[in-house]
């Protein structure tokens, strides 16, 4: 493996997008986001981990970081999310998170084991995480029966941090309505979302 300047590595041409900025210490939070666009306005004084998009990248990056460095006081997952219900806008601290693309109930019936159960983090809306960008009305309607918001990394970040015994907070800024045209809405709003998330960090951490 060859190190890259952004902190990632290559192995037979494969690029892992993990990027750790700053120094982790036990008396400070670690901010975890998927991509640089969401972290554009964060102050450099706090350590920031960019995991790359999707559950696999998120889990691998958080696990590698927590195994290698001192554990932070808390892990704060920041990022954008799609709204699954009309009128949902703004910034939300997530109260629970589930995997919408893992059939936990079917696996339980099949094997008797519970895999990927929802995680309780506190008070607040439910976030659904899955390896699919939700951008159609039918998928949004189906997910709306289970959650309020949807993203692609939250469950993986939270479950990995909790496995290491690190407290988790999860803060999501609504970027789109997770329906038809959501990809365009996300592209148009991500910079503004990044600014709002940075303001939340300044006011709350």
Q: What is the DSSP string of the chain?
A: -EE-TTS-EEETTEE---EEES---TTS-EEEESSGGGGTT--TTS-EEE--SSHHHHHHHHHHHHHHSPPPS-EEEEEEEEESSTT--SEEE-SEEEETTS-HHHHHHHHS---S--EE-SSS-EEEE-SS---SHHHHHHHHTT-SEEESSHHHHHHHHHHTT--EEEEEEEEE-SSTTHHHHHHHHHHHHHHHHHHHHHHH-
Spatial separation of the C-alpha atoms in residues 35 and 79, rounded to whole Å: 9
pTM listed for this prediction: 0.89
The pLDDT tens digits along the chain (205 residues) read 333 334 444 444 454 568 999 999 999 999 999 999 999 999 988 999 999 999 999 999 999 999 999 999 999 999 999 999 999 999 999 999 999 986 767 666 778 886 778 999 999 999 999 999 999 999 999 999 999 999 999 999 999 999 999 999 999 999 999 989 998 999 999 999 999 999 999 999 9
Where do the domains of the chain lie? 2-188
CATH of 2-188, one of 3.40.50.1580, 2.40.70.10, 3.20.20.330, 1.10.287.610: 3.40.50.1580
Distance CA 155, CA 24 (A): 22
């Amino acid at each position: 493996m060859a190190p890259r300047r952004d902190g990632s590595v290559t192995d037979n041409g494969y690029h892992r997008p993990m990027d750790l900025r700053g120094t982790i210490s036990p008396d400070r939070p670690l901010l975890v986001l998927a991509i640089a666009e969401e972290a554009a306005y964060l102050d450099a004084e706090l350590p920031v981990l960019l995991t790359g998009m999707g559950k696999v990248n998120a889990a691998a990056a958080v696990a590698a970081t927590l195994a290698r460095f001192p554990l932070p006081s808390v892990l704060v997952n920041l990022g954008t999310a799609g709204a699954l219900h009309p009128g949902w806008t703004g910034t939300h601290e997530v109260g629970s998170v589930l995997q919408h693309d893992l059939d936990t109930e079917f696996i339980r019936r099949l094997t008797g084991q519970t895999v990927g159960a929802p995680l309780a983090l506190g008070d607040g809306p439910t976030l659904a995480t899955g390896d699919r960008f939700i951008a159609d009305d039918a998928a949004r309607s189906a997910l709306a029966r289970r959650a309020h918001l949807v993203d692609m990394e939250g469950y993986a970040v939270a479950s990995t941090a909790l496995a290491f015994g690190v407290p988790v907070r999860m803060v999501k800024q609504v970027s789109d309505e997770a329906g038809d045209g959501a990809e365009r809405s996300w592209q148009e709003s991500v910079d503004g979302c990044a600014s709002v998330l940075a303001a939340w960090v300044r006011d709350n951490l």
